[in-house]
Amino acid sequence: MDLTTFLIQCLNSVQYGLLLFLVASGLTLIFGIMGVINLAHGSFYMIGAYLAYTLASYTGNFALSLLIGIVLSVLFGYLLEWGFFSFLYEREHLLQVLMTFGLILVFEELRSILVDDDVHGVPVPSWLEGSIPIGNNMTYPIYRLFMSGVCLAIAVAMYYLIRKTRIGMMVRAGATNREMVQSLGINISLLYRFVFAGGVALAIFAGMIASPVSSVYPGMGNSVLILSFVVVVIGGIGSVKGALVAALLIGFVETFGIVFWQQAAGALVYVLMAAILLWKPEGLFKQGT
Amino acid sequence: MKRYAFWIWLVAFALAATLPLLPPPIGTEFYIALGTRILIMAIFALSLQLLVGYTGLVSLGHAAFFACAAYTVAMLTPEYEAGNGWWLVLASIGTSGLLALVIGILVMRTRGIYFIMATLAFAQMVYFVFHDFAFFGGSDGTYIYFRPEFSLFGWQLVDLEDLNQFYWFTLLALLITVAVLAQLLRSRLGHAIVGIKYNEQRMRATGYDTMAYKLASFVIGGMFAGLAGFLFALQYGFVNPEFASWHQSGNGLLMIILGGLGSLPGAVLGAVVFELMRVWYQDLTEHWQLLLGGTIIAVAAFMPKGLMGGFSGLRLPHRRFARVKATAPAQTTATTVMQPQEHA
C-alpha cells in the first residue's frame, strides 16, 4: 500500500467514523441521560435517508431539504418522546427493548407504505460535486470531505453545548439525579423531551447527509444500529467523547479490515469490542464526559 | 399447586400429541408443519425464559446459539446419506453450549443495559462469521439433504422424514425441555439463579459465586436454544445467517413477555400465541409487520406481565405504576420469588 492509498483510506475511515459518531452520539445521550435503550435508533437513520430522497424530489435543493429535514426531525422526535418514550423511563430495560423493537417494525412498514421498497439514490448537490486530486493519480470526492467537516463541526458544537452551557449543565445534572434537578425548579420532562428530539435529529441528519454517498434502501438502519451499539459499548454509555473515540476506532478497523482481510472485516469490529470488554467492561470513558 | 400444574402439563401434551390425528382442516400438512414450528419456537422461548425470566439476564443475542446448532448439524450431516442422529444432536447442543460459555464469560463482565448491547453485538459477530466466510455458504447458507437417523442397536427408532413422526419427535423434545427446566428450577441451582435475579448483591453476600451461577444459566439456556436450532434446521432443510439475526432474538423476547416472565407455561403459551398471530397477520395483509409491531408496542405498554399475568398493568398509570413498585420492594420480592416454583 503506497502513501496515497493509505491517505485516502484514512480519509475514508475518518468520514465513516464521524458519520457513525453522529448516530451513536444520539443513542448514547438518550441512554446516558434518560436510561432508555432505543433499538429504533437505526430506523431514524433510515428515515433520514428516505426523507432526503423524498425532499430532494420535491425541493430539488439539497441545502433546503437538509433544513426542512432538521425541522421535521426535531418535531418528530418531540412527538415520539411524548407518545411512546415517556412511558419507558421508569420501566425495565426489557420493556424498552420490546417497545422499540415494535417501533422498528412499524417504521419499516410505514416506510414501505409511504414511499416504497425500492433502492434509491440521492444526487450529490452540484456545488459539492467533483473531487480534489491527491498524489499523482488519485482523487477524493469533495462531498465526502464536506461530510467529514459537517460531522466534525457538530461534534465540536455538541461538546461545547454539553460542557460549557447552562443547558448542558442541566442535562448532565439530570442524568445524575433526576429528582434533585426537578426540585431545583427545572422542568426535567421538557428537558428530556428536547434531548430526545436532539438525539433523533442527529440520527436523521446523519441519514440525510449520508444518502448521496450510500444508496437509500430498506433495512439500512439495521447495520448502523448494531454498529452504534458497539460504539456505545466501547466508548462507555453516556459518554459523547467516548462515542467519538470509539466511532473513529471502528471507522479505521472496518475500513482497513476490508483492505487487508476482506472476509473477516465484518466480524473484526466485534473482536475489537470483545477485547475492549475484557480490558474495560464499562467502556473506555465514564458517563458525562 | 405443584401436582395440579403437573396434570395441566400432561393434558396439554396429550392434546398436542393428537394434532396429526385430527380430521381436516386441522390435521393437514400445513397445520402439522405449523405445529412443529410452534413447538420448536416454544423450546427456544423456554431456553430464553431461563435467562430472562428466572436469572434476570436480558439477552438480545440468544439467536446466536440457535444458529450455531443449526449450522453444526448442517455442516456435520454427510452429503449423500443420513447422519447419526445421536451424534448430531449432541454435537449441535455441545457447540451451542461451548459458544454460550465463551460468549458468557465475556458478557458476564457487564450488566444491565451493557449486557443487552454486548449480547446483541456478539450475536451479530456470529451472524457475520456465518455470512462472510465462504465455508458456511455465505448469505445463501447451506442445505441439509437428509434428516438424521436415530437408531438403537441397528433398529431405527423414528423416521424423521415423516411429517407426523417429526412432529411427535419435536413434541418429545419439548417435553424433555420442560421436564429438565422444571427440575432444574426446583434444584439448588434454580433457587440460586432466581435469588440472583432479585438481589444479586445479597446472594453474593450469602456466599454464592453469583458469576458462576449466572454463567451456568447462560450455558444451559444456550444449549436448549441449540436444541431448538437443531430441530429448526431439520424442519426446513436449510440454514442461513438469518437464523442468527437479532430479529430472531427479539421474537424470542416477545414470546416470553407475551406469555409472561418467570413462568415455564408462559413461555410455551407466548410461543403459541406469537406464531399463530404471525400466521394470522400474514394472511390478513401484505403489511403484516405493521400489525405485529403495533401489537408488540401494545404489549409493552399495557401488558407488561404477559398473558399469564393478565392486563394488570392496564389500570395503573405508567409512572405511578413504576414508583409503587420501587417503594415497596420487600413485598414485591417476597411474592414474586415464590412465583416460579408454583408454575414449575
Nearest residue, CB atoms, B300 vs list A99, A230, A281: A99
Lowest mean pLDDT among B61-65, B160-164, B319-323: B319-323
Q: Does B140 touch chain A (CB under 8 A)?
A: no
The residues pairing with B150 across neighbouring beta strands, listed in sequence order, are B158
Lowest mean pLDDT among A98-107, A143-152, A162-171, B149-158: B149-158
- Cross-chain residue pair B117–A37, CB shorter than 8 Å: yes
Q: Does B125 touch chain A (CB under 8 A)?
A: yes
Structure confidence at residue B64 as a pLDDT band (50, 70, 90): very high
Q: Does A264 touch chain B (CB under 8 A)?
A: yes
Q: What is the pLDDT of residue A33?
A: 80
pLDDT at B218 over 90: yes
CB-based burial label for B183 (10 Å; 0-12, 13-18, 19+):
exposed
Look at residue A209 and give its three-state secondary structure.
helix
Question: How many residues can be counted in chain B?
Answer: 344
- Cross-chain residue pair A98–B125, CB shorter than 8 Å: no
Q: In chain A, what is the straight-line distance between the N-terminal and C-terminal CA atoms, in Å? A: 37
b/e sequence B310-337, b meaning 16+ C-beta within 10 Å: eeebeeeebeebbeeeeeeeeeeeeeeb
- Cross-chain residue pair A277–B107, CB shorter than 8 Å: yes
Cell readout for A154 is: 457538530
The residues pairing with B158 across neighbouring beta strands, listed in sequence order, are B150
* B339 found inside a domain: no
**B178-to-B170, B216, B224 alpha-carbon distances in Å:** 12, 18, 10
* A14 found inside a domain: yes
**A228-to-A9, A74, A272, B117, B244 alpha-carbon distances in Å:** 21, 20, 14, 10, 19
Q: What is the pLDDT of residue B227?
A: 94
- What does the pLDDT average to over B305-332? 48
Nearest residue, CB atoms, A277 vs list B110, B296, B326: B110
Q: Does A104 touch chain B (CB under 8 A)?
A: yes
* A248 found inside a domain: yes
Report how far Cα A240 is from the mean position of its chain's Cα atoms.
11
pTM of the model: 0.83
In whole angstroms, give the CA distance from residue A32 to residue B43. 35
Q: What is the pLDDT of residue A17?
A: 92
- Cross-chain residue pair A101–B254, CB shorter than 8 Å: yes
Cell readout for A106 is: 412499524
* B259 found inside a domain: no
Chain B residues with beta carbon closer than 8 angstroms to that of A113: 287, 290
b/e sequence A155-179, b meaning 16+ C-beta within 10 Å: beebeeebeeeeeeebbbbbbeebe
**A255-to-A11, A137, A146, A226, A273 alpha-carbon distances in Å:** 10, 21, 19, 17, 16
Q: Does B272 touch chain A (CB under 8 A)?
A: no
Secondary-structure percent of chain B, ordered helix, strand, coil, rounded to 5:
75, 5, 20
- Structural domain for B172, as ranges: 2-247
User: How many structural domains is chain B composed of?
Assistant: 1
* A284 found inside a domain: no
User: How many structural domains is chain A composed of?
Assistant: 1
Q: Does B287 touch chain A (CB under 8 A)?
A: yes
- Structural domain for A136, as ranges: 3-279
* A127 found inside a domain: yes
Which of B238, B340, B257, B322 is closest to B295 using CA atoms? B257
* B344 found inside a domain: no
Chain B residues with beta carbon closer than 8 angstroms to that of A37: 113, 116-117
Kindly report, residue by residue over B139-171, the tens digit of the pLDDT. Answer: 777 888 778 877 777 777 777 778 888 899 999
* A286 found inside a domain: no
Q: Does B139 touch chain A (CB under 8 A)?
A: no
Chain B CA closest to residue A36: B113
Which of B92, B53, B128, B100 is closest to B221 using CA atoms? B100
CA distance A223 to chain B (A): 9
Instruction: Name the range with the highest mean pLDDT among B57-61, B92-96, B333-337.
Output: B92-96
Cβ within 8 Å of residue A39, ≥6 positions away: A97, A100, A101, A103, A104, A225, B250
* B291 found inside a domain: no
Please, are residues B312 and B238 in contact by the beta-carbon 8 Å criterion? Answer: no
- Cross-chain residue pair A274–B125, CB shorter than 8 Å: yes
Nearest residue, CB atoms, A264 vs list B109, B113, B132: B132
Q: Mean pLDDT in chain A?
A: 85
